[in-house]
Amino acid sequence: MKVREIYEILQSISPFENQEEWDNGGLQIGSLEDEVDEIAIALEVDSEVLQNLKPKSLLIVHHPLIFKGIKTLDFSTYPSMFIQKLIEKKCALIAMHTSFDISHLNLYVAQEILGFKQAYQEGGIAYAEVKDIEIKTLAMQVKNALKLPYIKFCEMESKIQRVGVVCGSGFSLFSKIKNKQNFCFLTGDIKYHDAMLAKALNVGLIDIMHYESERFFGEILQRVLQKHGYKAIITNSKNPFTFL
């Protein structure tokens, strides 16, 4: 099969032009006319994924390997070392990042994992109405649903009536939320000053962590490709963090 066949499916379900301006999704290595024998899916490119990747494969990842302009290809440095291995194996690489968050990932996690069945997508955030819930109660529900090693949250005085979910690192979208009354924002990589801002506005924050909230990328995309008649192998990356 040609890379183009799969690329066109991905473009149809999650248009690359819908990604954030700073993002770099799309075809990163290879040509649309390349012939590949297998499709592999991973959260991102790492050493273990590359070791298990068969030659002449199409690797589809969530996090782009190439984000910024590369002036030199020093194969002893990242990401050039991974680019070299992909080229040597004659593999193509496609990244589906924020466009896939918008089209699939945020809503899937909100509805299927966290149980907000009536969630809807708006402006890159999955919103849902909830019935007057305490933030500690919601935080424990989220911790259990995502099987987190711990839960970090910012308390609020009022009860929660509405939530917003952004997988990965999504606090940059906080300013786009119009109605923050009785609101709790669920995203990963929440920083100290993010929490200070939310606390001043009496907005709840729950840190759903980066890897833990995005690890469903593979299973979602695998099902999509199966519906189009293509078999894909999930070869997921491991969380780079270890918890004690």
30: left (phi over 0), alpha (psi -120 to 50) or beta: left
Amino acid at 229: G
Indicate where the chain has its CATH 3.40.1390.30 domain(s).
Answer: 3-96, 100-213
Using CA atoms, how far apart are residues 224 and 213, in angstroms rounded to an integer?
19
pLDDT tops 80 at residue 119: yes
| Confidence at residue 244, expressed as pLDDT on a 0 to 100 scale | 84
Q: Summarize the confidence of residues 223-231 as an average pLDDT.
A: 97
Q: Summarize the confidence of residues 91-106 as an average pLDDT.
A: 98
pLDDT tops 90 at residue 128: yes
pLDDT tops 90 at residue 95: yes
Amino acid at 8: E
| Confidence at residue 104, expressed as pLDDT on a 0 to 100 scale | 97
Using CA atoms, how far apart are residues 100 and 88, in angstroms rounded to an integer?
28
- 196-224 pLDDT, tens digit per residue, is 999 999 999 999 999 999 999 999 999 99
pLDDT tops 80 at residue 80: yes
CB atoms within 10 A of CB 120: 13
Percent pLDDT > 90 in the chain is 95
Tokens 């995309």 belong to which residue? Answer: 221
Strand order in the sheet with 160-169: 120-122, 125-133, 160-169, 183-188, 204-207, 152-154
| Confidence at residue 144, expressed as pLDDT on a 0 to 100 scale | 98
Phi, psi at 198, each rounded to 5°: -60, -40
101 is in an annotated binding site: yes
Q: What is the CATH code of the structural domain delimited by 3-96?
A: 3.40.1390.30
| Confidence at residue 228, expressed as pLDDT on a 0 to 100 scale | 97
pTM value is 0.95
Rounded to 10 degrees, the C-alpha dihedral 129/130/136/140 comes to -90
Tokens 């890379």 belong to which residue? Answer: 3
DSSP string, 141-171: HHHHHHT-SS-EEE--SSPEEEEEEEEEE-G
pLDDT tops 90 at residue 237: no
- 26-47 pLDDT, tens digit per residue, is 999 999 999 999 999 999 999 9
| Confidence at residue 57, expressed as pLDDT on a 0 to 100 scale | 98
pLDDT tops 80 at residue 164: yes
74 is in an annotated binding site: no
187: which strand partners? 207
Task: Single out the residue of 120, 123, 204, 125 nearest to residue 166, CA to CA.
Answer: 125
| Confidence at residue 117, expressed as pLDDT on a 0 to 100 scale | 94
What the block records as the tokens of 193 is 């000053």
pLDDT tops 90 at residue 69: no
Q: Summarize the confidence of residues 188-193 as an average pLDDT.
A: 97
pLDDT tops 90 at residue 238: no
Using CA atoms, how far apart are residues 191 and 15, in angstroms rounded to an integer?
30
CB atoms within 10 A of CB 217: 28
Tokens 């299927």 belong to which residue? Answer: 112
Task: Single out the residue of 117, 153, 118, 149 nearest to residue 137, CA to CA.
Answer: 153
pLDDT tops 90 at residue 14: yes
Q: Summarize the confidence of residues 99-111 as an average pLDDT.
A: 98
63 is in an annotated binding site: yes
Q: What is the CATH code of the structural domain delimited by 100-213?
A: 3.40.1390.30
What the block records as the tokens of 232 is 């894909």
pLDDT tops 80 at residue 16: yes
Amino acid at 74: D
